[in-house]
Amino acid sequence: MLDRIGMMLPLIQAPMAGVSTPALAAAVSDAGGLGSIGVGATDAGGARAMIDELHARTARPFNVNFFVHATAKSDPVREAAWLDGLAPSFAEFGAAPPAALRTIYTSFADDRAMLAMLLETRPKVVSFHFGLPSADALAALRECGIVLLATATSLDEARAIEAAGIDAIVAQGIEAGGHRGLFDPAAPDDALGTVALTRLLVRETRVPVIAAGGIMDGAGIAAALALGAIAAQLGTAFITCPESAADDGYRTALAGPGAHHTSLTPLISGRPARALANRFTQLAAHLAGHTPPDYPIAYDAGKALHAAAKAHGEHGYGAHWAGQGAPMARAMPAAALVATLAEELAAARSSFGSVVAGVTTVQL
Amino acid sequence: MLDRIGMMLPLIQAPMAGVSTPALAAAVSDAGGLGSIGVGATDAGGARAMIDELHARTARPFNVNFFVHATAKSDPVREAAWLDGLAPSFAEFGAAPPAALRTIYTSFADDRAMLAMLLETRPKVVSFHFGLPSADALAALRECGIVLLATATSLDEARAIEAAGIDAIVAQGIEAGGHRGLFDPAAPDDALGTVALTRLLVRETRVPVIAAGGIMDGAGIAAALALGAIAAQLGTAFITCPESAADDGYRTALAGPGAHHTSLTPLISGRPARALANRFTQLAAHLAGHTPPDYPIAYDAGKALHAAAKAHGEHGYGAHWAGQGAPMARAMPAAALVATLAEELAAARSSFGSVVAGVTTVQL
């Protein structure tokens, strides 16, 4: 599987729409990992431009990630109530909430132009989050030789991915930063951690598994491999690279003591996502009686509130997505980070071998 | 550290008060791991009997675990309201709630008889959950040559453990079954998973770390070692051993499809603990307006409700503690399970070595 993609290291840089850039993904791919971009927040034209830039920047394979969420249903009453709930926060920065909210992203499932663009640009790897496209879309991508990945947070989702003929499953543990890949955010969530989820998927499916969530260094990658994963996917570890699109407020928050506190919240975008605890996640108490609008309609309000606050120098309403490993993030260029991760992985391998040899020879 | 304890395998069977038995712990220790009993639910006399039985059953070292929670504060108004809230559930089984609730366990911090008993019986290893005893108690235990362990769920708790001079930290991830070792259950909980917590503690403290939570097989133990832990602690994996005290209802629930669904709830005992989702954990919606009495006062009600239901053949109110790896539990004698885990660990080690060698030689 890694050979088919052409990866030299068992390491994927997570897509992170809005944070990853073609420069970041190219640097990771050039260094031997698999770089990714997330294009769920743009349209076919925007995605094409990013893919073209990536093709220009690197000859190595890379991954392009899509959101495959259910079509958002507008509910003007709920949206108006939500904006009322946020109004005091806007008022703090002398701003009014937007008059109405828009569906700012189109699901890949509803976007034939995006599929057509993909069949032309043919990135080596395509991955899906929040669900799966139709069988005909998958067949068309497969016919182009594109390797397909999809995220699962549970065994049921993994079984759906296996049944769809996807090439590898990203096992996203509850520790992971950003949007949780739940197919149905309204269904109960068993909130499985990376260790249990990865083992379950490795044991119960026949599809290669990529472990994600809480992994920040070579020891974490080594642990993912020990669990039977073919690779580890790291997101938060790459936010602090200079090549990412994270703004200064986000970088400052990640570098501070607040990195020890993340929160899984649907308040920012309308779907559960893990972010650094900040003024936005703290609105939970204040908004307890409200139901956020559908994803990504709620995110239109979230982005507007962040913009209003940021204009006044307040960065506490940013969507500071981060996983539980955030305190271990390192600010270094992506190529240097990948080289460091590779060295750490090799070191973990040798120390792991000696520990196990020393301890188990007595017994075995 | 493992040498000092005399462990042959990097494997601790978790204490599990009420589920572990001297027979289980002795079998695990004899097989090369470290067996444990939990005596937080008994008094000095009961604990002495269990330790004596263990000393009679095995010449190998074992671990005795204590609860070091804050002294429970009785609040008759809150307790009466709680019993009112549970009354419909009791009524379903033709029973009435208890007239009043008792503090059924004494914290180790408040139990000088327990300390005196320990200083006489001198088990090789003693571990603490929910907090730390006083410095003089720790010094007395240390003078007897007893190796000391304590559970941390966060870096702050780990730092307190390090400052107290404890010999090793059990890093309990959010995936773990049973009671979460939070020092202060009223404080915010960052709910760290095993991967991130273990790496944080290995990197940020100078105390050996034992990883716990979601680990069910040799691959999981291998992952813990790769993360830099000196050993893994497994609880749920041992509940299904014939030597455990789990009743038939508990074993049936663990073997069924419900093992895929666990819930972290304070409803059963008054402190957050992870259990199989069942009729008890589903009371959450019904009891939403209520605050459970202090731990372990609430547990007095929980045990009474379980007894009333069980008398009518309903096992859905049992405290079916289980971690997220529950679907991977195997019903086999403890000695056979430990041997299987050791074989799996050795296999994980060799396959891990080859995977890493194959993938990284290109790059390094």
pLDDT tens digit string along B197-221?
Answer: 999 999 999 999 999 999 999 999 9
Distance (Å, whole) CA A237 – CA A326: 7
Contact list in B for residue A323 (CB cut-off 8 A) is 196
Contact list in A for residue B28 (CB cut-off 8 A) is none
Contact list in B for residue A328 (CB cut-off 8 A) is 196, 199-200, 203
Of B196, B224, B262, the CB nearest to A175: B196
Is residue B133 within 8 Å of residue B118, measured between CB atoms? no
Is residue A164 within 8 Å of residue A138, measured between CB atoms? yes
pLDDT for the residue B362: 31
Secondary structure (3-state) at A228: coil
Average pLDDT, chain B: 94
φ, ψ for residue B205, nearest 5 deg:
-125, 170
Is residue A126 within 8 Å of residue A66, measured between CB atoms? yes
Best of B356, B361, B362, B364 to disrupt the A interface (most A CBs within 10 Å) is: B356
pLDDT for the residue A358: 46
Contact list in B for residue A219 (CB cut-off 8 A) is 199, 202, 226-228
Task: State whether residue A232 sits within 8 Å of chain B by CB.
Answer: no
Is residue B13 within 8 Å of residue B40, measured between CB atoms? no
Task: State whether residue B220 sits within 8 Å of chain A by CB.
Answer: yes
Best of A203, A341, A360 to disrupt the B interface (most B CBs within 10 Å) is: A360
pLDDT tens digit string along B111-162?
Answer: 999 999 999 999 999 999 999 999 999 999 999 999 999 999 999 999 999 9
The verdict on a CB contact (< 8 Å) between B362 and A8 is yes
Domain with CATH 3.20.20.70 in chain B: 2-71+107-245+332-360
pLDDT for the residue B359: 46
How long, in residues, is chain A? 364
Cis check for the bond before B10: say yes or no (omega within 30 of 0): no
Q: How confident is the model at residue B353 (pLDDT cuts 50, 70, 90)?
A: low
Task: State whether residue B112 sits within 8 Å of chain A by CB.
Answer: no
pLDDT for the residue A355: 54
Is residue B195 within 8 Å of residue B341, measured between CB atoms? no
Is residue A322 within 8 Å of residue A276, measured between CB atoms? yes
Q: Which helix (H) or strand (E) holds B37?
A: strand B35-38
Residue B267's nearest CA partner among B311, B303, B214 is B303
The verdict on a CB contact (< 8 Å) between A226 and B222 is yes
Q: Could you say which DSSP state residue B34 is in? A: B
Residue B212's nearest CA partner among B255, B288, B151, B298 is B151
Residues of B numbered 129-168 whose beta carbons fall under 8 angstroms of chain A's beta carbons: which are they? Answer: 154-155
> Nearest residue on chain A to B351, judged by CA atoms?
A226
Q: Which two tokens stand for residue A263?
A: 């929160």
Contact list in A for residue B354 (CB cut-off 8 A) is none
What is the arithmetic mean of pLDDT over B342-348?
94
Min Cα–Cα distance to chain B from A120, Å: 31
Min Cα–Cα distance to chain B from A9, Å: 6
pLDDT for the residue A286: 87
Distance in Å from the first CA to the final CA of chain A:
33
pLDDT tens digit string along A112-146?
Answer: 999 999 999 999 999 999 999 999 999 999 999 99
Across B221-236, b (16+ Cβ under 10 Å) vs e yields bbbbbbbbbbbbbbbb
Is residue A272 within 8 Å of residue A184, measured between CB atoms? no
Q: Which two tokens stand for residue A101?
A: 């909210």
Q: How confident is the model at residue B352 (pLDDT cuts 50, 70, 90)?
A: low
Is residue B202 within 8 Å of residue B182, measured between CB atoms? no
The verdict on a CB contact (< 8 Å) between A364 and B343 is yes
Distance (Å, whole) CA A316 – CA A277: 9
How many beta-carbon pairs below 8 A join chains A and B? Answer: 205
Distance in Å from the first CA to the final CA of chain B:
33
Instruction: Give CATH for domain A2-71+107-245+332-360.
Output: 3.20.20.70
pLDDT for the residue A82: 96
pLDDT for the residue A3: 81
Residues B148, B154, B157, B161: what is their CA dihedral angle, to the nearest 10 degrees?
30
Distance (Å, whole) CA B104 – CA B247: 21
Is residue B310 within 8 Å of residue B302, measured between CB atoms? no
Is residue B1 within 8 Å of residue B208, measured between CB atoms? yes
Contact list in A for residue B214 (CB cut-off 8 A) is 192-193, 195-196, 199
Residues of B numbered 302-331 whose beta carbons fall under 8 angstroms of chain A's beta carbons: which are they? Answer: 323-325, 327-328
Distance (Å, whole) CA A322 – CA A260: 10
The verdict on a CB contact (< 8 Å) between B155 and A260 is yes
Distance (Å, whole) CA B8 – CA A364: 10
Contact list in A for residue B348 (CB cut-off 8 A) is 226, 228
User: pLDDT tens digits for chain A (364 residues)?
Assistant: 788 888 899 999 999 999 999 999 999 999 999 999 999 999 999 999 999 999 999 999 999 999 999 999 999 999 999 999 999 999 999 999 999 999 999 999 999 999 999 999 999 999 999 999 999 999 999 999 999 999 999 999 999 999 999 999 999 999 999 999 999 999 999 999 999 999 999 999 999 999 999 999 999 999 999 999 999 999 999 999 999 999 999 999 999 999 999 999 999 999 999 999 999 999 988 888 899 999 999 999 999 999 999 999 999 999 999 999 999 999 999 999 999 999 999 998 877 655 554 443 333 2
Number of helical (H) and strand (E) elements in chain A, helices listed first: 14, 11
